[in-house]
Amino acid sequence: MKQHRMMFGRRKFLVGAGAALLAPASPALAALGSSRSVALDNLHTGEKLLIEYWQQGRYVQDALAQVNHVLRDFRSGDVHPIDPRLLDLLALLRQNLETSVPFGVISGYRSPATNARLRGENAHSGVATKSLHMQGMAIDIRVPGRRLASLRDTALALKAGGVGYYPASDFVHVDVGRVRRW
């Protein structure tokens, strides 16, 4: 029974991943054109990346690997695949904010061990037990030169996932989970 559940889970994941890669582009994504790029500045490692991750109707695997590395868990060094939909969300945010400035990245992927440690250290910090950071589906960001509230409002208007507003810590959380806000 356990093995059957694991195979079903893997099959479900692979089917979902394939569907995401083959799904027709939404009108908002289509407006991005034939190529999509992301600009990142990892504030903990100092790494910067400006990369075209979508070309000619496909995700560029080498580019995705570079994104995975830059958005790794900076505390442990663990690398995990970042959901390409998160990159699409960032590309839409850049377009709607009308900026070419790199996103300042506070947190991308977080390993389960790091997430548990952060949750234990800061019981009231808002670190979720089942954080989407652990699945490569969430990122905490800011945009230099832009009001944090403007970034939050732009993300909320997209209705593309969760949006958390942390003005005391100077970042906005965005994810590609269900639409919600906090």
Which residues 6+ apart lie within 8 Å of 26 measured at CB? none
pLDDT tens for each residue of 94-145? 999 999 999 999 999 999 999 999 888 765 567 787 899 999 999 999 999 9
Tokens for 161, please give them: 């996932």
**pLDDT confidence of residue 33:** 77
- In angstroms, the CA 59 to CA 120 distance is 37
More confident residue, 28 or 54: 54
Asked whether the beta carbons of 141 and 154 are under 8 A apart, the reply is no
- In angstroms, the CA 42 to CA 69 distance is 11
The pairing of strands 180-181 and 48-55 is: unpaired
In the block, residue with structure tokens 């979508």: 54
In the block, residue with structure tokens 């996103």: 103
Q: Which CATH class is domain 26-181?
A: alpha beta
Tokens for 93, please give them: 């945010």
Confidence of residue 32 (pLDDT cuts 50, 70, 90): confident
**pLDDT confidence of residue 128:** 83
Tokens for 32, please give them: 């991005």
Closest CA to 148 of 110, 93, 84: 93
pLDDT tens for each residue of 148-178? 999 999 999 999 999 999 999 999 999 999 9
Q: What percentage of the chain has pLDDT greater than the value 90? A: 73
